[in-house]
Structure 1
Amino acid sequence: MSHRQVLEALSGLLLAMFVAMLSSTVVSNALPIIVADLEGTESGYTWVVVATLLTLTATTPIWGKLADLFSKKLLVQLALLIYVIGSFIAGFAPSMGVLIGARALQGVGVGGLTALVQIVIASMVSPRERGRYFGYLGAVFAVATVSGPLIGGLIVDTSWLGWRWCFFVGVPVAAVAVVVLQKTLHLPTVRRDVSIDYLGATLIASGVSVLLIWVSLAGHQFEWVSAITVLMILGGLLLLALAVLVEARAAEPVIPLHLFRNRTISLASAASLMVGVAMFGSTVFLAQYFQLSRGMSPTRAGLMTLPMVLGLLASSIATGRLIARYGRWKVYLVAGGTLMTLGLLLLSRLDHQTPLVAAGAYMTVLGIGLGAVNQNLVLAVQNSAAQRDMGVASSLAAFFRTMGGSIGVSALGAVLGHRVAQQVSTGLAGLGISPAKGGGSSIPDLDALPPAVREVVVTAYGDAIGHIFLLAVPFCLIALACIVAIRETPLRTTLAREDELTAPAPEAPEGAEVAGVR
């Protein structure tokens, strides 16, 4: 494909990626109003978030495998269709149960888009040129991250729209993406008889789901150290162990185990898991910091994260272009991992009195680091993977990043809740107020609190959130160690690896058919 053809197809792919990211961020500020309107509980509030993360994470590797077997263009359009159906159901949801089910369906579509967009780019562009296009993906990620909460806040604050439009707003963008992809995306498709590993897919999805449900609900619905915790951990690990046995014998495994014999793929997957903790965790807790420790509105809190988003945007585009020009990629991963760690260390200094200029500088450092690491880890994986495994290899990085985000947000959130409750109770006791009457276990309405109590709550959140960033630093150090251990190999200028180009062409299996460019 020429550069112009790639850009035309990329326009549809970027719209699809924007839809995927927007679905996760646009409801963040609207959830309290949504749950209250549908008469939901705190458990329901949690499940609206968990349902999407659950199906997104569990289905990502399955979408990746399907991309190696079927038409990538058709799969992207199918993922968009699933997202649209889930959005309509969520928008018209009459109850919390229907809303949670619709969010789970949305997660299936978003999981497909998250994996497939990177896979399609890998089918159009060689690794040497891929960096610049991945930079555009990073820019879209940054824009969706900051615009989502702003759009959601604007929708719920507009009386004639209402919260249901938080789910409808992405539908027109998805429809445009389908049309653009139909006209601009033309990929050759090899049709062959395939054997889909349904058992392996079910075991992988089930094992991941059980572990994610545990880490999402532990500390809220039951204690971290409890009989339920033991049962869920053992059950999840048993399901995954069975999945490994099935995958080792399957003709078309969902996750080919031979991929993990590749040093780069294994280390990049581990690094992606750790990066997920920093990337997702920082976004969630920064929003809480500005709202609960600095007393800002949701819209203003979203604007305050602009330094991190702009740093991520600039870093993604710049490193992508430099990689495409010079062919070196590890130096940017190492620099990004270092800056990401430094950014979290700086953010650990946050408290309720930190100058906003300093907070903005800290977030910029973190954003630059994330932008240099996020998409380029996928590039490293794709450069090492055979073209026949490109789909599942690409989806592994996204799978582990999302898994890390889910685990990180849940675990660090539990620590945050415990630390805030402890500090609020101590502060209220110092004022001679009973903690039972003063609160501390739920998110407070700062405007409704007396000045003295408000100061206790603001201080508690400011100090506790700074502590959370410090806890995330070890994960970044592990990610950096994995990145340093990766061996840099030259970016190939062909879609296929050299061993694939020199290997004799296999005989086409009976019933196989090579389709034309579509």
Structure 2
Amino acid sequence: MTTYAADTTPVAPPKFSHREILVTMSGLVIAMLLAMLDNMIVAPALPTIVGDLGGLNHLAWVTTGYILASTVATPIWGKLGDLLGRRITFISSIAVFLIGSVLCGLSQDMGQLIGFRALQGLGAGGLMVGVMAVLAEIVPPRDRGKYQGVMMAVMPIAMIGGPLVGGFITDNLSWRWAFYVNLPLGVAALAVCWFTLAKLPRRGAGKVRIDWTGSALLTTWITALVLITSWGGTEYEWASPQIIGLAVVTVLAFIAFVIVERRVVEPIMPLSVFRNRNFTLAGTLSFIVGFAMFGGMTFLPQFQQFVQGASATNSGLLLMPMMISMMVTSLAGGALISKTGHYRALPIVGTVLMAAGLALFATMGTDTSKTLTSLYMVVLGAGMGCLMQTTMLIAQNSAPLRDVGAATGAATFLRNMGGSLGVSLLGSVYANTLTDTITAEAGSGAASGSAARMTPELLRSLPDAARHLFQQAVTDGVGAVFTWAAVIAATGLLIALAIRHVPLRGFADAKEQPAPAEEQVAAAV
């Protein structure tokens, strides 16, 4: 741990006019588009990537490795932004993301792809937290809803255009271009952000304290935990020495992490923010949203391509109802919050819709129509749209401005952690259920042979009996995934009901006062 004197002098938020905010947000929009497009483009290409490189058992790690690295990096980028300034850390995260993208496209086997996706994720961890932290620094919470509406305008481009681009690339070019396509957009983001973020205050004029020990312990316990959820019951038995050893490492590293964060001057994740009731509840809800969102986006294309016969391009197009629904509810929710200052109803409605949408997906069979699937997507998308921006707004409103980067990083960390564990756990559920179905009908040899390198093109060339068996296995696997996701999402309703309304602060409040204490939160109800 570096031991330098920290400059604790408070930095006043920059004063931006409405026009200056919009100009600054142009760079943020490009960076957000870059972050959102990546997973959207890669998702339709996954079946082809796995068929080309092999390694069905490692399918989840293409996404998990990215999310895991992003999860670890998010609080670090957020804290570095608090200490060094938003501009330099934000631009650095874009550069790391682009380097990872190039290397992903050059991968020759599954191990390389997973490793380079992790590098890409390190950069991605700074993109979303950077966008949210910069927005929090230039716009007070009370007025942030209308500007978030402008930010949400990028969602239809990313979430509808991304799967279409990814599917088109997979069907007509090499899947490697799903990663190379990030380069022109990333270069544009670097150029725009360099100029538009110049007005943000610079920090770190003196020496700062960087919590390297906390960062290392955070990486250790998160990685060990994800390995447990990924390997348990698949690579190793749950009672095996490997899994037990990882469990011990997780517990010990987590305890050491908490001890370190309580003692260092500039903790990478200030535990004080968790003393605020609303922050803890919003963070927990973010965890659940990440679990459901990444799980759904990762495994739904498997059903669409293998069972419903959609091409990679069409499977991206078929996700449009979910994306449009998410966009509309996010825009409407942001406008409602800006107009009324009230937000408590949105997390409650969102968790109900999200759980209902996941439960509907769990009922799908091999004869489920694309129209019915689209209706299920509308329900799920509406739920996630009510939750994503609202939970972040609540978290930021629960922290003082000087810690908004760390608070944003912590909230994003929890959402990414939910996604990492969700994809890892649900990936194991999917692979095990698929293999069990094939084994029950055709034996273990057929299961390992047919599933490992299956692609949609290869599936269409199989005899009817073999094709129907594999489609049933995929359906069983996806059904199990959404069943568990729905159960997890349903617990979010209890959390949403416990959130209390606390008036959204303006910059004067954010600068002069700390985040509301627990007793202040209770008094505000």
TM-score computed with the length of structure 2 as normaliser: 0.88
Shift in Å, 1:316: 0.9
In the other structure, the counterpart of 1:3 is: 18
In the other structure, the counterpart of 1:436 is: 445
Aligned pair partner of 1:375 in 377, 383, 389:
389
Give the whole-Å Cα distance in 2 for the aligned partners of 1:436 and 1:44. Answer: 19
In the other structure, the counterpart of 2:373 is: 359
Alignment of 1:180-195 (within 5 A): 180-185=192-197, 186-190=199-203, 191-195=205-209
CA contact (8 A) 1:348 1:470 kept: yes
Measured on the aligned residues, the alpha-carbon RMSD in Å equals 2.4
Alignment of 1:394-473 (within 5 A): 394-426=408-440, 428=441, 434=443, 436-437=445-446, 441-442=451-452, 444=454, 445-473=458-486
Q: CA 1:139–1:228 in structure 2 vs 1: closer, same or farther (change >3 Å)? A: farther
The worse-fitting range, judged by mean Cα deviation, of 164-173 and 490-499 is: 490-499
Give the whole-Å Cα distance in 1 for the aligned partners of 2:210 and 2:160. Answer: 39
In the other structure, the counterpart of 1:113 is: 127
Alignment of 1:376-395 (within 5 A): 376-395=390-409
| Pairing 1:53–2:62 present | no
CA contact (8 A) 1:68 1:389 kept: yes
In the other structure, the counterpart of 1:508 is: none
Shift in Å, 1:109: 0.7
| Pairing 1:174–2:218 present | no
Give the whole-Å Cα distance in 2 for the aligned partners of 1:435 and 1:92. Answer: 34
TM-score computed with the length of structure 1 as normaliser: 0.89
Look up the equivalent residue of 1:228 and give its one-letter code: Q
Give the whole-Å Cα distance in 1 for the aligned partners of 2:42 and 2:102. Answer: 14
| Pairing 1:165–2:177 present | yes
Q: CA 1:144–1:155 in structure 2 vs 1: closer, same or farther (change >3 Å)? A: same
Aligned pair partner of 1:15 in 30, 36, 44:
30
Unaligned runs of 5+ residues in structure 2 are 1-15, 516-525
CA contact (8 A) 1:420 1:440 kept: no
Q: CA 1:409–1:45 in structure 2 vs 1: closer, same or farther (change >3 Å)? A: closer
| Pairing 1:482–2:478 present | no
Q: Runs ≥4 in structure 1, deviation > 6 angstroms?
A: none
CA contact (8 A) 1:139 1:316 kept: no
SS of 2:507's equivalent in the other structure is: coil
In the other structure, the counterpart of 1:491 is: 504
Give the whole-Å Cα distance in 2 for the aligned partners of 1:157 and 1:311. Answer: 27
Give the whole-Å Cα distance in 2 for the aligned partners of 1:95 and 1:460. Answer: 26
In the other structure, the counterpart of 1:77 is: 91
In the other structure, the counterpart of 2:518 is: none
Q: CA 1:347–1:135 in structure 2 vs 1: closer, same or farther (change >3 Å)? A: farther
Q: CA 1:284–1:199 in structure 2 vs 1: closer, same or farther (change >3 Å)? A: same
CA contact (8 A) 1:127 1:495 kept: no
CA contact (8 A) 2:55 2:452 kept: no
Aligned length: 494
Q: CA 1:43–1:281 in structure 2 vs 1: closer, same or farther (change >3 Å)? A: closer
Q: CA 1:243–1:113 in structure 2 vs 1: closer, same or farther (change >3 Å)? A: same
In the other structure, the counterpart of 2:256 is: 242
Give the whole-Å Cα distance in 2 for the aligned partners of 1:304 and 1:402. Answer: 25
Look up the equivalent residue of 1:436 and give its one-letter code: G
Shift in Å, 1:275: 1.3
SS of 1:379's equivalent in the other structure is: helix
Give the whole-Å Cα distance in 1 for the aligned partners of 2:130 and 2:492. Answer: 24
Shift in Å, 1:18: 1.4
Deviations 1:451-508 (A, max 9, x none): 1222232233334423422221221122221121011111112264375289xxxxxx
In the other structure, the counterpart of 1:505 is: none
Give the whole-Å Cα distance in 1 for the aligned partners of 2:492 and 2:323. Answer: 21
Q: CA 1:367–1:248 in structure 2 vs 1: closer, same or farther (change >3 Å)? A: same
Give the whole-Å Cα distance in 2 for the aligned partners of 1:451 and 1:94. Answer: 33
Give the whole-Å Cα distance in 1 for the aligned partners of 2:18 and 2:312. Answer: 40
In the other structure, the counterpart of 1:510 is: none
Percent sequence identity is 38
Shift in Å, 1:27: 2.7
CA contact (8 A) 2:238 2:244 kept: no
Shift in Å, 1:327: 0.8
Give the whole-Å Cα distance in 2 for the aligned partners of 1:29 and 1:224. Answer: 32
The worse-fitting range, judged by mean Cα deviation, of 345-354 and 112-121 is: 345-354
CA contact (8 A) 2:50 2:453 kept: no
Q: CA 1:451–1:41 in structure 2 vs 1: closer, same or farther (change >3 Å)? A: closer
Unaligned runs of 5+ residues in structure 1 are 503-518
The worse-fitting range, judged by mean Cα deviation, of 396-405 and 86-95 is: 86-95
Give the whole-Å Cα distance in 2 for the aligned partners of 1:437 and 1:340. Answer: 36
Give the whole-Å Cα distance in 1 for the aligned partners of 2:347 and 2:132. Answer: 18
Give the whole-Å Cα distance in 1 for the aligned partners of 2:475 and 2:60. Answer: 23
Give the whole-Å Cα distance in 2 for the aligned partners of 1:218 and 1:136. Answer: 43
The worse-fitting range, judged by mean Cα deviation, of 119-128 and 92-101 is: 92-101
| Pairing 1:27–2:42 present | yes
Give the whole-Å Cα distance in 1 for the aligned partners of 2:19 and 2:421. Answer: 40
CA contact (8 A) 2:57 2:452 kept: no
Shift in Å, 1:46: 5.3
CA contact (8 A) 1:50 1:216 kept: no
Q: CA 1:295–1:92 in structure 2 vs 1: closer, same or farther (change >3 Å)? A: closer
Give the whole-Å Cα distance in 2 for the aligned partners of 1:412 and 1:167. Answer: 25
Give the whole-Å Cα distance in 2 for the aligned partners of 1:60 and 1:40. Answer: 30
Shift in Å, 1:409: 1.6
SS of 2:339's equivalent in the other structure is: helix
Give the whole-Å Cα distance in 2 for the aligned partners of 1:212 and 1:366. Answer: 26
Look up the equivalent residue of 2:416 and give its one-letter code: T
Q: CA 1:320–1:443 in structure 2 vs 1: closer, same or farther (change >3 Å)? A: farther
Q: CA 1:280–1:181 in structure 2 vs 1: closer, same or farther (change >3 Å)? A: same
Give the whole-Å Cα distance in 2 for the aligned partners of 1:48 and 1:245. Answer: 33
Alignment of 1:274-289 (within 5 A): 274-289=288-303
In the other structure, the counterpart of 2:247 is: 233
In the other structure, the counterpart of 1:290 is: 304
In the other structure, the counterpart of 2:519 is: none
Q: CA 1:261–1:17 in structure 2 vs 1: closer, same or farther (change >3 Å)? A: same
SS of 1:30's equivalent in the other structure is: helix
